[in-house]
Structure 1
Amino acid sequence: MCINSFIDCNGDSSLKRYNSRYKFIDVAKGIGIILVLMGHFFIYRSPVTQVIYSFHMPLFFILSGIFLKGPDVDNEGIRGVGRYVWKKTKRLGLMYVLFFVLSVAAVAVFDRKTYPLKRIIRAFLGERLRTFHVGPIWFLLALYIIVLIYGFLYVCKCSKWNSWVKLILMQVLLFGAYRLPEYMERFGWSFAPLFINVIPMGLFFVLLGICFRKEILEIPSVSIGTRCIITVVAVVLTFVLSFRYLGFMEFMTGGFGDDLFIFMFAAIVGSIAIVFGSSLLANHWPGTALAYVGKHTMVLLGLHRIVSYYCAKIFYAIFKIKIAPAISLPDRYAFLWTIFILLVILGADAFIHWGAAKYKEIIRICVQQ
């Protein structure tokens, strides 16, 4: 285990290539975001969602940690910290704000529903975020806070800690994170601003991704036979754990199950299945399609629920067919609805990019003339 990469990876020359895009990671992100959509469109607490919810959010936190690097304080000092914070704010914080504002505006314009400012602010901070059909963007806010915490640890020179100290810290973080939601409920804290009830557990999985970044990025160099065996075994274990030993979990609310070991085992094994399986698909056509989906993960995460909500309204207005894709679609229809929403969002995104490129080309031609 590369526990020494817990905080400091900037000085390792072998990590310079991490700035390049690894296709199989994009494939893993593509599979992961499709599972997120499926988890929101299939019947809540159905066997399908029980398997998906057992590992899909830990998977994204682990993948987020693989390429996470601390601020460049050695060369830029305090300016490096500022650059780090601004970069993460643009990537995560501002995107969270954008998706939230779009959803509030859509509800006000199309549903003609308005809420008091206090209610909107509390939703922005995490309370009943689903009211505006963008519940999944909790991940962006939680990850934003997590990467800021990581930057703080990096600036505090935690990279100089002994490897065993880091390992012990991760264990303490894990057990504390597992019990935090329970303790909050005991004290009557039904509302946890900024998702502080799940941030410690998310931080653990991000640090796990940092610790194992070398091993994960070297997976494509493992023999195909070994990768096939690991993928099959991991998939089987994920299903067995989900159906026999694990109840329904919901990371967003701090629902990590009744057994910490089973929860961790299921989360890690499910993530292994996706990552190793992605390495097998990366060089084939399905991998290319999934990698394209993976590159648009943030757009799909931020828009799929609200797009689904209004598409369902359009279907009813035109065909008089009621669709409830959030919680109660039968499995076969939920799968088709997942594909439909995926195509709608990706198609709209491609059209916007095409239009922007054409607009820039027209402006360039006009300026030259």
Structure 2
Amino acid sequence: MIEQALAGETRRPITSGRRSNLVDLVKGLAIILVVYGHTAQGVVHRGWWSGPWADFSKAFIYSFHMPAFFFASGLFVFGSIQRRGPAKFTLEKMKTILYPYLLFAGISAALGPLIRRFQMSYSPFHWNAFLMNVADGSGSWFLFTLFWCLLLALLTVRFPNWLRFLLSVLVGMAPIYGTFHTDRVWQEFCFVAAGMWVGNHVFRLEDIPKWKAAVGFMLLAAFQFAAIYFYGFVDRWTYIGLGLTGTAGLFLLARLLENHRIGEALVWVGRASLAIFLLSAFAQGATRVVLSDLLHTNNLWLQLLLPTAFATVLPAIVWYQQDRWRLGWLFHWPL
């Protein structure tokens, strides 16, 4: 029985339904980096920022911010499967991950002619191209990849943790399967597997003294900085290694900020990370219009920081007001 296989993996607190501020704080940090990364891409594309520090900024952020999301998702897989069972687990992921993926693929296609000025590339709508993009994950590679990674987690739930992680690393290092976006499933699953391996042990971070968390964070941050600065992304091994060390650094930083006002704000952001991921592009574009067309400024810091701030806060407000504004259908299946 799957329930018996999970028994040793899902003792309190994960199976208790307890919400982890540490994990939400990490998600808050990671989603801000996602928004900043997208904003920086737009700034670079428009020629407002160039040079080695622009390249370093992108490489540094992308070395760990998405692995952190996949790792965090893996932490709760055992408990979620145990509470719901395989069928309900799959249905729930279809409602909360696959559904918004398909919905926003359609919304983006419908709004394409209106928002193409904010996009780095634009192609006129064609049904065949649209359906192919949706099928291979081009509509939104993260949600597509996360959905299939969680189904892989379900299929391998009986595996020993070490074996699942080892196989995920070996498969992730193999030549590309299919398209770039479908290959991301194999590449990112190792982080989900690592999260499943850690499981409820992540809550031991709460017992680490903050001075130790600060020292550990600074050491990992220095390592991450030096590795990217001197070597960059060499291959998939580098991506896996830096993804894991960067994620560990984020969790130590989260422990350092826990129970602080900044940490509480990041928890607030982290719990709204889905809405921020889905809606941030619209807020970014609107803020950039105000800066460029109304205020007539291409100042680098304004173009980096203000779109990042508004694209984080405004979608989060929508998330927390979704029931009052009857917008829950944007983020999960309405029935």
TM-score after normalising by structure 1: 0.74
Q: Are residue 244 (structure 1) and residue 221 (structure 2) matched?
A: no
- Kindly provide the amino acid, as one letter, of the partner of residue 288 in structure 1: E
Tell me which residue corresponds to 1:175.
Answer: 170
Tell me which residue corresponds to 2:86.
Answer: 81
Relative to structure 1, the CA distance from residue 57 to residue 225 in structure 2 (aligned partners, 3 Å threshold; closer, same or farther) is same
Q: Does the 8 Å CA contact 1:61/1:206 hold for their aligned counterparts?
A: yes
Tell me which residue corresponds to 2:235.
Answer: 258
What does residue range 1-369 of structure 1 map to in structure 2 within 5 Å?
A: 8-9=6-7, 12-43=10-41, 46-69=55-78, 80-108=85-113, 114-126=124-136, 129=139, 137-154=140-157, 158-159=158-159, 163=160, 167-181=162-176, 184=177, 191-192=179-180, 195-247=181-233, 257-258=234-235, 260=237, 262-313=238-289, 315-319=291-295, 330=300, 333-356=303-326
Instruction: Report the CA distance between 1:30 and its aligned residue.
Output: 0.2
Instruction: Report the CA distance between 1:302 and its aligned residue.
Output: 1.3
Q: Does the 8 Å CA contact 1:103/1:306 hold for their aligned counterparts?
A: no
- Counterpart Cα distance in 1 of 2:14 and 2:27: 22
Listed one character per residue, the Cα deviations across residues 54-112 of structure 1 (whole Å, up to 9, x for unaligned) are: 11111111000011127768x99xxx332121111111111111221221222256669
RMSD: 3.0
Q: Does the 8 Å CA contact 1:19/1:67 hold for their aligned counterparts?
A: no
Relative to structure 1, the CA distance from residue 229 to residue 348 in structure 2 (aligned partners, 3 Å threshold; closer, same or farther) is same
- Kindly provide the amino acid, as one letter, of the partner of residue 178 in structure 1: M
Q: Does the 8 Å CA contact 1:246/1:263 hold for their aligned counterparts?
A: no
- Kindly provide the amino acid, as one letter, of the partner of residue 117 in structure 1: W
- Counterpart Cα distance in 1 of 2:61 and 2:113: 32
Give the paired residue count: 308
Q: Does the 8 Å CA contact 1:10/1:70 hold for their aligned counterparts?
A: no
TM-score after normalising by structure 2: 0.80
SS in 2 for 1:14: coil
Instruction: Report the CA distance between 1:121 and its aligned residue.
Output: 0.8
SS in 2 for 1:246: coil
Listed one character per residue, the Cα deviations across residues 191-228 of structure 1 (whole Å, up to 9, x for unaligned) are: 35xx3211112211101001012331210111222212
Unaligned stretches of 5+ residues in structure 2: 45-53, 118-122, 328-335
SS in 2 for 1:69: helix
